[in-house]
């Protein structure tokens, strides 16, 4: 009967235990609060910067330093604030189109962006120009404190530069021959403007991806291009024929001139030789007229007789030549 407890006793005993437990917990509350404060302070002191980032630290809103990748400490409780900025990532902005999903089969938005892609060329034609601009952050401090909307700045300035450049070129130059030149000039001018406005952005590349006439005038453009290609083909064929005929004619003319020069030189040399031989003969004749006259006669007869096939010697005292011809004998015997 001594172990019997009434409900009132049990209630009182439970109340005593709860009161004791509350007192035990109350003793540890300051320690728990202290630990929570320590964890919060440590958490606000330690920060991490990724490998492709830098941390821009502000103290009461003012820039104080830049932290590289890794773990770092800062003044806690909101005194110093860290803003990570990706400085190695290449960002891309698209103009005239939008990529919905990139991959093996890239999908593009079916929407038309004519407000940013239609350009007026220098010869007053309209082209649908689509291009990309790739850029990265080169000065995170200027990016955060010198400009409000850096991406909007890149887009607006890119459209201004591309619109001006398209106005400096003819439509056929933008379609075919001057696209790389436009890329280079656009990148240089866009970088100049971004530096002028202290955006802290570096342009990596500007590239024209697609340059086409608007859909409404494509058939007319195609006809014009076909006519230009036909004209170029005819010009090339004419030049090909020209390159065949003109060098050959020049070669024949040069050969004729060379032959004439050779003939003239031969005639001059022969004439000089004949003149020299005549003068030499005349000098010999003056020294010995009879001998020279006889020699000239013999030389002349030798030259003349050497060209005669058959020779007949006739006696000047003979009244008739028939006995000497010996018609019945061989031809060699009558000589």
Alpha-carbon span 136 to 241, nearest angstrom: 54
Instruction: Indicate the pairing of strand 107-108 with strand 70-73.
Output: unpaired
The DSSP 8-state label assigned to residue 217 in this structure reads: G
Q: What are phi and psi of 225, to 5 degrees?
A: -65, -40
pLDDT of residue 161: 96
Q: What are phi and psi of 118, to 5 degrees?
A: -75, 125
Q: What is the pTM of this model?
A: 0.59
Q: Please return the burial class of 174, using the count of CB atoms within 10 Å of its CB with bins 0-12, 13-18 and 19+.
A: buried
Alpha-carbon span 264 to 140, nearest angstrom: 87
Alpha-carbon span 152 to 224, nearest angstrom: 38
pLDDT of residue 334: 44
- Helix then strand then coil, in percent of the chain rounded to 5, is 55, 20, 25
pLDDT of residue 9: 64
84, 49 contact by CB (below 8 A): yes
Distance, CA of 183 to chain centre: 10
pLDDT tens over the chain, length 335 residues = 445 566 666 666 666 667 666 666 666 667 677 677 667 777 778 889 999 999 999 999 899 999 999 998 888 878 889 999 999 999 999 999 999 888 778 888 888 888 899 999 998 888 999 999 999 999 999 999 998 899 999 999 999 999 999 999 998 889 888 999 999 999 999 999 999 999 999 999 999 998 988 877 778 777 877 888 888 899 999 998 888 888 888 888 999 999 998 888 888 888 888 888 888 877 877 777 888 777 777 777 787 777 777 766 666 666 665 554 554 455 544 44
pLDDT of residue 1: 44
139, 194 contact by CB (below 8 A): no
CB count within 10 Å of CB 227 equals 10
The set of residues, in sequence order, having a beta carbon less than 8 Å from that of 66 and lying 6+ positions away, is 54, 55, 56, 57, 140, 141
């Amino acid at each position: 009967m001594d172990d019997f407890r009434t409900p009132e006793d049990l209630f009182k005993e439970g109340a005593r235990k709860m009161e004791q437990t509350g007192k035990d917990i109350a003793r540890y509350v300051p320690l728990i609060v202290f630990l929570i404060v320590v964890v919060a302070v440590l958490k606000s002191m330690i920060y991490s910067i990724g490998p492709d980032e830098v941390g821009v630290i502000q103290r009461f809103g003012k820039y104080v330093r830049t932290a590289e990748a890794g773990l770092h400490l800062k003044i806690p409780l909101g005194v110093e604030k860290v803003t990570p900025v990706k400085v190695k990532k290449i960002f891309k902005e698209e103009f005239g189109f939008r990529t919905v999903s990139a991959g093996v089969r890239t999908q593009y938005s079916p929407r038309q962006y004519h407000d940013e892609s239609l350009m007026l060329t220098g010869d007053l034609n309209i082209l649908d120009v689509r291009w990309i601009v790739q850029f990265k952050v080169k000065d995170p401090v200027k990016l955060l404190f010198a400009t409000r909307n850096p991406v909007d700045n890149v887009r607006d300035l890119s459209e201004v530069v591309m619109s001006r450049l398209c106005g400096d070129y003819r439509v056929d130059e933008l379609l075919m021959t001057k696209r790389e030149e436009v890329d280079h000039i656009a990148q240089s001018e866009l970088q100049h403007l971004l530096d002028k406005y202290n955006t802290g952005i570096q342009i990596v590349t500007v590239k024209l991806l697609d340059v086409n006439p608007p859909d409404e005038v494509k058939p007319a453009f195609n006809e014009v291009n076909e006519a230009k290609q036909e004209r170029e083909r005819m010009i090339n064929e004419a030049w090909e024929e020209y390159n065949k005929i003109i060098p050959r004619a020049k070669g024949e003319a040069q050969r004729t001139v060379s032959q004439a020069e050779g003939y003239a030189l031969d005639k001059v040399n022969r004439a000089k030789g004949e003149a020299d031989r005549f003068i030499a003969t005349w000098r010999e004749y003056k020294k010995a007229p009879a001998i020279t006259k006889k020699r000239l006669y013999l030389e002349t007869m030798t030259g003349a007789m050497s060209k005669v096939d058959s020779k007949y010697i006739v006696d000047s005292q003979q009244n008739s030549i028939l006995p000497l011809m010996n018609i019945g004998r061989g031809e060699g015997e009558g000589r």
